[in-house]
């Protein structure tokens, strides 16, 4: 009990100056006052009417012996974190603290008794100013969850655990630490704990003594040089940055330069630390929607000629040896969760959910090759999909797949960042897709992709997004199986193909939650194009100033002409002249924007062309978007614009004044704070 602590975190609400507390539990892991808790306890979000907001941290207070006459309070500083496993380590400056001994979670069995210590419901049960008293709950291990490699990943406990227990210890009868409370499902009595061995990588980096340096020195170089450097979203100067003094601990570091995508990372700096950051250039790939389905082009080569001209065999996998799975990298909806296995001479994916399950093999430098494999859907649903991946890189991959719901074969490109899809070609197969085996083949050579099914040509397409990459397989809602994999190298084209116009895309969509991974946005203030990044967190992106300066944000990865978008945004009260705008089809000399005006209670469609800005539509603003969270729907198709707010049509325009695309999309704020929660951009709705 004496090793457990109460943790109170004070935050600021991003749309105002209001301060509010949240709480959790933790425990001492050393005699030098180091505390372990959940990452989400010290980097929480606040939920208001089902919308989650980022909550910048003002102070972390750690209370030892909470609720008793011996209570003692310390300021906590985050020094280490493991976001993926939801763990964090705090320094408190305390010395001689009682601490828990590390046990071995693998020795647990189902029905093993365990005890959970913590402070459920936080300050609700506080004793005057001493804080809440500790609660000890007894429970049993109801399940031990392992991955396909036999590693214990989660301890399931049937004890009564409630909000506020997060980050607390799970101990055995002898007081040995075996886990940290994580997921709390409360009334269901199905609760999860993180096995103690996930602390190994963090505990190895815990300082050997109590003292935390008063400050740390940060040095940053960037390629190219001259990037603006921000520490915890405060300007620290331009790179190269040498010995910038800052508080020791866990920080968010950002580097931004006009013409290049941002770099954002969280890191620990306890003394002197240096970082060499390479920035990637803006991409601005045009996304042109096809108003009608383009003619399907068959491959220029037959499958027999491709086989005949194939060179070196790069891969031959019969899936007879389950140990070969270690050669494959798994990708599950943006995580590394493992859902694939080898059995009975085939590769199988065992989940039948809506999450993307991909698995890849090979060298990212592979350019020209042909893939041959058999595939089938083993758990048939309306939306079942299975396919072959080619030219996979860190940015995305091409996919030749069969789609049960439409009975079509499709060629798509999956972009990983932001997460989305471009459908490049599709063809009705003229038969129902069932659970039989299909012989699928994909040949990539130069800038062409050719697809075959059961030996017959299906279609070919221009490949503009990735010139090289790995091969793999894909499964969604299908429990797909694959076998008889062969990959042959193909001779490179004799002459490079002539440049083509931007291909028209049958359909597309991507979704962005404005997290620290959303580096494809450029923010700037006033007339300057110099970067002025907003506040990014796992719960959205916040613009935290409500002065009269206009602050702008635009996407640097794609250019759109026709599209539909759904945006969830929250706006503060702002000044009387506050405004918020959604900007689209923006080029160097033209743009269109939907602008919301607080004082006038109006919404305008404004167009700038030829150096002139004019309002082409002016409508009453209803529902109110200021001091509110709103879902905006904007559909742009040709000369037509339709705006909806919370599913109610607010504005409609059809005319000749819109600029021709494609251009960037983005947002502006003037005199108001804003939080961007989530945005989806997709093919336009065509009446």
Q: Is the pLDDT of residue 109 over 80?
A: yes
Confidence of residue 652 (pLDDT cuts 50, 70, 90): very high
Asked whether the beta carbons of 258 and 522 are under 8 A apart, the reply is: yes
Asked whether the beta carbons of 10 and 24 are under 8 A apart, the reply is: no
Question: In CATH, what class is 4-203?
Answer: mainly beta
Collapsing DSSP to helix, strand or coil, 106 comes out as helix
Where are the chain's structural domains? 4-203, 216-278, 294-504, 509-682
Average pLDDT over every residue of 299-304: 82
What is the predicted pLDDT for the residue at 299? Answer: 76
Round to whole Å and give the CA distance between 17 and 122. Answer: 23
Task: Burial-class residue 118 by CB neighbours within 10 Å (0-12, 13-18, 19+).
Answer: buried
Top pLDDT among 686 and 577 is at 577
Give Dmax (Cα) for the chain.
85
By mean pLDDT, which of 308-317, 339-348, 625-634, 664-673 is the weakest? 308-317
Distances (CA, A) of 488 to 145, 363, 449: 39, 13, 15
Confidence of residue 185 (pLDDT cuts 50, 70, 90): low
Mean pLDDT of the chain: 92
Task: Burial-class residue 195 by CB neighbours within 10 Å (0-12, 13-18, 19+).
Answer: buried
What is the predicted pLDDT for the residue at 495? Answer: 64
Round to whole Å and give the CA distance between 361 and 328. Answer: 5
Q: Is the pLDDT of residue 498 over 60?
A: no
Round to whole Å and give the CA distance between 537 and 53. Answer: 9
What is the predicted pLDDT for the residue at 297? Answer: 67
Q: Is the pLDDT of residue 678 over 70?
A: yes
pLDDT tens digits for range 126-179: 766 778 999 999 999 999 998 878 899 999 999 878 889 999 999 999 999 999
Q: Do domains 4-203 and 294-504 have the same CATH topology?
A: no
Strands (E), 173-238: 176-181, 191-195, 216-223, 228-231, 234-238
What is the predicted pLDDT for the residue at 496? Answer: 58
Distances (CA, A) of 128 to 240, 448, 500: 51, 72, 73
What is the predicted pLDDT for the residue at 204? Answer: 86
Q: Is the pLDDT of residue 464 over 90?
A: no
Q: Is the pLDDT of residue 190 over 80?
A: no
How many beta carbons lie within 10 A of that of residue 238, not counting itself? 16
Confidence of residue 296 (pLDDT cuts 50, 70, 90): low
Instruction: Write down the CATH superfamily of domain 294-504.
Output: Exo-inulinase; domain 1 (2.60.120.560)
Question: In CATH, what class is 509-682?
Answer: mainly beta
Backbone angles phi, psi at 248, to 5 degrees: -70, 145
* Residue 42 zone, left/alpha/beta (φ > 0; ψ -120 to 50; rest): alpha
Average pLDDT over every residue of 78-91: 95
What is the predicted pLDDT for the residue at 661? Answer: 80
Confidence of residue 587 (pLDDT cuts 50, 70, 90): very high
What is the predicted pLDDT for the residue at 361? Answer: 96
Average pLDDT over every residue of 303-329: 93
What is the predicted pLDDT for the residue at 349? Answer: 96
**CB-based contacts of 292, cutoff 8 Å, min separation 6:** none
Confidence of residue 426 (pLDDT cuts 50, 70, 90): very high
pLDDT tens digits for range 541-582: 999 999 999 999 999 999 999 999 999 999 999 999 999 999
Round to whole Å and give the CA distance between 541 and 244. Answer: 26
Task: Burial-class residue 387 by CB neighbours within 10 Å (0-12, 13-18, 19+).
Answer: buried
**CB-based contacts of 666, cutoff 8 Å, min separation 6:** 521, 552, 553, 554, 555, 582, 583, 586
Round to whole Å and give the CA distance between 677 and 631. Answer: 10
What share of the chain in percent tops pLDDT 90? Answer: 77
User: What token pair was written down for 134?
Assistant: 């500790």
């Amino acid at each position: 009990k004496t090793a457990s602590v109460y943790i109170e975190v004070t935050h600021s609400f991003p749309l105002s100056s209001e301060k509010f507390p949240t709480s959790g539990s933790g425990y001492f892991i050393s005699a030098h006052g180091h505390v372990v808790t959940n990452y989400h306890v010290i980097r929480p979000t606040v939920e208001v009417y089902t919308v989650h907001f980022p909550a910048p941290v003002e102070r972390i207070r750690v209370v030892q012996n909470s609720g008793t006459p011996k209570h003692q309070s310390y300021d906590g500083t985050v020094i280490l974190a493991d976001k993926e496993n939801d763990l964090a380590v705090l320094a408190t400056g305390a010395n001689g603290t009682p601490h828990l001994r590390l046990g071995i979670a693998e020795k647990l069995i189902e029905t093993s008794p365990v005890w959970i210590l913590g402070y459920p419901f936080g300050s609700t049960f506080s004793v005057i100013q001493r804080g809440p008293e500790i609660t000890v709950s007894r429970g049993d291990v109801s399940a031990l969850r392992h991955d396909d490699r036999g590693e214990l990943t989660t301890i399931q406990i049937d004890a009564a655990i409630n909000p506020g227990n997060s980050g607390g210890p799970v101990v055995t009868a002898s007081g040995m630490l075996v886990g940290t409370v994580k997921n709390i499902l409360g009334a269901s009595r199905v609760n999860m704990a993180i096995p103690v061995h996930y602390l190994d990588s963090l505990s190895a980096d815990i300082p050997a003594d109590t003292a935390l340096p008063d400050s740390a020195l940060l040095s940053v170089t960037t390629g190219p040089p001259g990037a603006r450097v921000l520490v915890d979203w405060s300007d620290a100067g331009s790179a190269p940055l040498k010995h910038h003094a800052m508080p020791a601990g866990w920080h968010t570091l950002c580097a931004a330069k006009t013409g290049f995508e941002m770099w954002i990372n969280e890191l620990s700096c306890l003394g002197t630390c240096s970082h060499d950051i390479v920035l990637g250039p803006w991409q601005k790939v045009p996304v042109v929607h096809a108003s009608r389905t383009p003619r399907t082009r068959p491959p220029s080569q037959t499958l027999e000629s491709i086989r005949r001209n194939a060179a070196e065999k790069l891969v031959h996998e019969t899936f007879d040896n389950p140990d070969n799975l270690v050669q494959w990298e798994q990708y599950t909806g943006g995580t590394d969760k493992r859902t694939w296995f080898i059995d009975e001479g085939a590769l199988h994916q065992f989940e039948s959910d809506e999450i993307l399950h991909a698995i890849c093999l090979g060298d990212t430098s592979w350019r020209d090759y042909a893939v041959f494999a058999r595939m089938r859907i083993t758990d048939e649903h309306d939306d079942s999909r299975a396919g072959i991946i080619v030219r996979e890189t860190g940015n995305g991959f091409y996919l030749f797949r069969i789609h049960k719901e439409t009975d079509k074969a499709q060629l798509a490109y999956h972009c990983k960042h932001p997460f989305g899809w471009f459908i490049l070609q599709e063809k009705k197969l003229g038969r129902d897709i069932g659970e039989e085996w299909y012989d699928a083949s994909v040949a990539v050579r130069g800038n062409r992709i050719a697809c075959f099914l059961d030996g017959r040509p299906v279609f070919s397409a221009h490949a503009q997004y990735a010139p090289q990459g790995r091969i793999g397989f894909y499964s969604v809602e299908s429990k797909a199986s694959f076998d008889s994999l062969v990959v042959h190298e193909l001779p490179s084209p004799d002459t490079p193909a002539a440049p083509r116009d931007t291909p028209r895309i049958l359909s597309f969509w991507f979704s962005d939650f404005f997290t620290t991974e959303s580096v494809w946005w450029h923010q700037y203030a006033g007339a300057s194009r110099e970067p002025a990044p907003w506040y990014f967190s796992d719960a959205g992106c916040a613009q935290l100033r409500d002065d009269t300066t206009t602050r702008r944000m635009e996407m640097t990865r794609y250019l759109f002409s026709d599209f539909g978008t759904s945006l969830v945004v929250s706006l503060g009260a702002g000044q009387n002249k506050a405004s918020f705008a959604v900007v689209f089809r923006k080029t160097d000399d033209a743009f269109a924007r939907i602008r919301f005006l607080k004082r006038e209670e109006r919404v305008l469609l404004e167009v700038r062309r030829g150096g002139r800005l004019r309002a082409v539509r002016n409508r009453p603003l209803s529902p109110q978007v200021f001091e509110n969270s709103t879902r905006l729907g904007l559909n742009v198709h040709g000369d037509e614009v339709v705006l909806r707010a919370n599913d109610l049509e607010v504005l409609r325009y059809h005319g000749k004044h819109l600029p021709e695309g494609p251009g960037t999309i983005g947002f502006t704020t003037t005199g108001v704070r804003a939080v961007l929660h989530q945005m989806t951009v997709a093919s336009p709705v065509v009446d």
